[in-house]
Amino acid sequence: MIDQKTPLFPPDLFSIEERRHGVVILHILGVVYMFVALAIVCDEFFVPSLDVIIEKLDIADDVAGATFMAAGGSAPELFTSVIGVFVSFDDVGIGTIVGSAVFNILFVIGIDNYIYWYEALVLFGFYLSYVTFMKWNRPMEKLVKRVLHHNRVTRVRSTDQLMPAMRFH
């Protein structure tokens, strides 16, 4: 059992007051540095390695995209989910993967050279709609369940317990 008083992650180096006075810029620079490092690793090592594997195994480009590229592209979400669920005991697993897929479909495709700016804007609008829906996900789920279960017929057993009616399709 994990003690609730001990934090799962190390404390921040800076106090809240220091962060409010501009030290948060160091955090932002760290994030930018990590994104640049990730881009360099992918461009210099990951993609060339996949090209060699695809060439040696004589795999078609569409099959490689659906397997190796998809697995490589999903690896960060997988590790984020594993850390979120098993280390910090947070409920980010499915949301991380689904959110990443929605972002990739709507944003990455939206910046392709063959798509006009207004089409990209529509895709970005869909992404914002998705994020907004996820913000209100639980109340929407309760509303839908209430509407679906509103007209459900119940039957009484001989034990006088109410049971939901069985529906056969």
Look over the chain and give the mean of its residue pLDDT values, rounded to a whole number. Answer: 75
Enter the DSSP assignment of 163.
E
How do residues 79-122 score in pLDDT, each as one tens digit?
Answer: 777 777 777 776 666 676 777 777 777 777 666 767 777 877 88
Angle at the Cα of 46 from the Cα atoms of 40 and 52, rounded to 5 degrees: 135
Give the pLDDT score at 110: 64
Q: In this structure, are residues 124 and 107 in contact, taking their beta carbons and an 8 Å threshold?
A: yes
* Residue 63 in this model has a pLDDT that exceeds 80: no
pLDDT band for 40, please (50, 70, 90 cuts).
confident
| pLDDT score, position 29 | 92
Q: Where are the alpha helices (DSSP H) in 58-154?
A: 61-64, 70-82, 93-103, 117-135, 137-150
Give the pLDDT of residue 33.
93
Domain ranges of the chain: 23-113, 116-151
For 65, counting Cβ atoms within 10 Å of its Cβ (0-12 exposed, 13-18 middle, 19+ buried), the class is middle
The pLDDT score that the predictor gives to residue 169 is: 53
Which of 96, 100, 66 has the alpha carbon at shortest distance from 84?
96
Is the model's pLDDT at 168 over the cut of 60? no
